[in-house]
A = this chain, B = another copy of it.
Amino acid sequence: MKPYVIGIDIGGTNTVFGIVDARGIVIASGSIKTAKHSKFDDYIDELHQEITRLIQTHDAVDKIHGIGVGAPNANYYTGMIVDGVNLPWPTPIPLAQTLRDQFGIPVAVTNDANAAAIGEMTYGAARGMKDFIMITLGTGVGSGIVINGQLVYGHDGFAGELGHVIVKRNNGRLCGCGRTGCLEAYCSATGVARTAREFLEIRHEPSLLRNMPIEAITSKDVYDAAIAGDQLAIDVFNYTGEILGEALADMTVFSSPEAFILFGGLAKAGEMLLRPLRAAMDRNMLSIFKGKPKVILSELKEADAAVLGASALGWEAK
Contacts and interface: CB of A to CB of B under 8 A. Distances in A.
B286 A161 contact: yes
B179 A254 contact: no
A288 interface: yes
A166 interface: yes
A286 B179 contact: yes
A254 B254 contact: yes
Interface in A25-48: none
Interface residues of A, number: 45
B154 A255 contact: yes
A208 to B, nearest CB: 31
A164 B253 contact: yes
A187 interface: no
A216 interface: no
A314 interface: no
A292 interface: yes
Interface in A153-175: 153-162, 164-169
A250 interface: yes
A103 interface: no
A105 B101 CA distance: 55
Contacts of A62: none
A83 interface: yes
A150 interface: yes
A303 interface: no
Contact of A254 (B82, B131, B251, B289): B251
Contacts of A157: 256
Interface in A233-290: 246, 250-251, 253-258, 284, 286-289
B131 A258 contact: no
B169 A254 contact: no
A110 to B, nearest CB: 13
Contacts of A166: 246, 250, 284
Given A152-B254, A161-B253, A169-B169, 14 more contacts: A83-B287, A131-B159, A147-B150, A147-B152, A148-B152, A153-B256, A155-B257, A156-B289, A159-B254, A160-B253, A160-B254, A162-B253, A178-B287, A251-B254
Among all A-B residue pairs, the 8 with the closest Cβ atoms: A154-B256, A159-B256, A155-B258, A161-B253, A131-B155, A164-B286, A164-B253, A159-B255
27 contacts: A73-B288, A147-B147, A148-B148, A148-B150, A152-B254, A152-B255, A153-B256, A155-B256, A156-B256, A156-B289, A156-B292, A158-B288, A159-B254, A159-B256, A160-B255, A162-B254, A164-B253, A166-B246, A168-B169, A169-B246, A177-B286, A177-B287, A179-B284, A179-B286, A251-B254, A254-B254, A254-B255
